[in-house]
Structure 1
Amino acid sequence: MKRRLWNADSLFDLSSTGVVTRRQLREAGVSDAAIDGRCAAGGPWQRLLPGVVLLRNGHPSTLERSAAALAYGGPNSMITGCVGLDSFGYGTNGSAGEVHLLLPAEMRRASVSFVRAERTWRLPKPITKGSIRVAPLVRSLVDATRAAKSEARCVALLTEVFQRGGVTIDQVAIELAEGPRRYSALTRRVLRELRDNAHSVAELEDQRLYRTSGLPAMTHNCDIYARSGEFIANTDGWIDSVALAREVDSVTHHLSPADYQRTQARRNRMQAHGLIVVSHSPQDIRDRPTQVLDDLRMNYQHALARPRPDVVMVPRESTG
């Protein structure tokens, strides 16, 4: 019998993730027969992708799947989309789905297993996150939204990155303008709505619901000042004729409980200046729209019946 010239433990030196290519194994002295045998059912290794092996069995982690995708795609490939966003610290749950891989346009690699391979002439300079190459944040974000299955998902992806200051609306607009139009219609439409100052899924839903109320037009995302010039607050919506403020409440739509507490302090200040504030949670807006409309109409009548406080509304500029 031919003596084995390689040591299984030493193979882990080939990769920090335990993901190696078949070529690497051959160069380390592992025969094709040994590779196939160890990757067989019940063996200690597993074949993740064509020509790519994980040096352990069991369910591969997100890191191992990402490393396998890059090994499959070659040295000029990079990860984008939701898994790319995850690497920047955005909780997209990208680990539960496919790994979106960008490849040079001239490279021939098919989508396979958990990898969605996309060839592009617009291959950006990658950013290294640990041992993983990823597309820049704005490209990862736009590619994630292009794959979104619903408007709510698309808005949630965009607003999380916008609210945390990762990229601006203008940067996303430029990326969309320079990229392919295919699969981008939803992202373009949502971005137009966000340019109109709707910064969350809940606010978009609330604005659409309000348009069915029969009440006067509402200005969205504006600043309120006392006549003296003292700043009172910014508000999600405003009916200027009666000084009624509209608020959409949710801890999940702020970045921390401290943000939520600041929202409550702001609301107290608004009420101290005589503003009528109507607030609902995203769940109310989604699940109890009739009750929300009734509350808005009732509070509008209350606001109409009292003297309007001496305050001034200033629309806010679109950010980005």
Structure 2
Amino acid sequence: MNHNTPLSPRPLRHLSEVHRRVMTAAQLRSHGVSTADANDQCRPGGTWQQILPGVFLLHPGPPTGEERLHAVLMYAARESSPGVPAQPGADDPHRPVYAEAMITGHAALALHGFTSAPPLLSLETLDVLVPRLRRLRSTGPARIVRTAALPTPQHVAGVPVAPVPRALADAVSGLADAGAVRRLLTEAVRGGHCEPASVVRELNNAKLLSRPHVVDAVDSLLAEGRAIAEDRLYRMVSESGLPDPVWNVDLRLPGGPHLGGLDAYWPEQAVAVELDTRAPRQGLRHDDDALWSEYARKREHLERLGITVVHITPKKLRDSTEQQATVVRTALMASADRDPAAYVVVLPR
């Protein structure tokens, strides 16, 4: 069979450019190419090559980075029905659909734009996330990573990619270098890819918080995340025209007990803002629950004294700054209609 002969009367225009260069055995059969013919093309001196079991590269040269990504996904993806490959979606006819498979780990972070992740072309293997019960083995450029529940993938350059927190956990699982772990986690937060709590939750689910070098990196991550959230809070108050509060204070009853620390407080209106930067730390859900109970007890105590507490998460500050400023402004305006709050002592924290 001549390499330039059309594969079959079935048109190829529904396929993306890369899918004219990388195809599965099932796709080739759907275009009239038998397995025997495909294998003949892959003999020494042939014009094709088999890059993974059942996946063919339809040219003799080395695969590009894009071809490797799609080859790994073709190998790992579950076909929609026996012998029939999943077709592109109606919303994007040139984007292939890969059922139950997505790129994760370092390759996913590179696709998400992480500068601290190795470049795609430097990776000998690409991590691909699949359901735990899939019968697949790691081979060639494909490293199989299993999970009980697949996350919803994000699409980057036409490739399904694990969300950043999950990709980070899969990348960190293979790292023993504390500096490399810290750089990845710091870039995730500083670059605005995700919030610290979501990263720590994935590390916790992956049982990585028992590793000392990961715990050290998490400590830096949480400190970085709080600093970024505090900066966003400062900018929200300034840019929204809210009156200046007192920042980072402790409240006490005169001659009485400590009431708790607050990130911002308006004494005349008795309105407080508290940033919620909780994250599970030791793999125990009740630790997180206990910290939330502490938040709730403090809030209830302050509100019994007539102090309004506005609870804001770093994610809300990032994604809906104007809405959070409106919540604070409404609380400040409503103070005129409330009974005066109890007198409290305000101390720097």
Q: Of residues 102, 106, 119 in structure 2, which corresponds to 1:78? A: 102
Gaps of 5+ in 2: 78-98, 227-243, 245-347
**Contact 2:182–2:220 (CA under 8 A) maintained in structure 1:** no
2:31 corresponds to which of 28, 34, 47: 28
TM-score (norm 1): 0.56
Q: In the alignment, what sits opposite 2:206? A: 180
Q: CA–CA distance in 2 between the matches of 1:183 and 1:80? A: 20
1:82/1:140 contact within 8 Å kept: yes
Aligned with 1:118: secondary structure?
A: strand
> 146, 159, 168: which one pairs with 2:186?
159
Sequence identity (%): 31
Name the structure 2 match of 1:248: none
Instruction: Report if the CA contact (8 A) 2:104-2:166 is conserved.
Output: yes
Where structure 1 has 5 or more consecutive residues not aligned to the other structure, the ranges are: 200-228, 230-313, 316-320
Give the SS at the match of 1:102. strand
Assess, with a 3 A threshold, how the Cα gap between structure 1 residues 5 and 65 changes in structure 2: closer, same or farther: closer
Distance 1:52 1:182 in 2: 34
The whole-number CA distance in structure 2 between the counterparts of 1:152 and 1:3 is: 53
Shift in Å at residue 122 of structure 1? 2.5
Partner SS state of residue 44, structure 1: coil
Deviation at 1:104, TM superposition (A): 1.0
Aligned equivalents of 1:113 and 1:20: distance in 2?
A: 16
Alignment of 1:87 with 2:87, yes or no, is no
Q: Could you report, residue by residue, the CA deviation over 1:29-66 in whole angstroms, capped at 9, with x for unpaired residues? A: 11222211212233221111110111122221221111
Check conservation: 1:146, 1:187, Cα contact below 8 A: no
Tell me by how many angstroms 1:170 deviates: 1.6
Q: 1:1-320 residue pairs with structure 2 within 5 A?
A: 7-8=6-7, 14-17=15-18, 18-74=21-77, 75-91=99-115, 92-95=117-120, 96-97=122-123, 98-177=125-204, 179-181=205-207, 185=211, 186-197=213-224
Aligned residue for 2:37, secondary structure, equals helix
Query: 3-state SS of the aligned residue for 2:150?
Result: coil
TM score, norm. by length of structure 2: 0.51
- Are the counterparts in 1 of residues 47 and 58 from structure 2 also a CA contact under 8 Å? yes
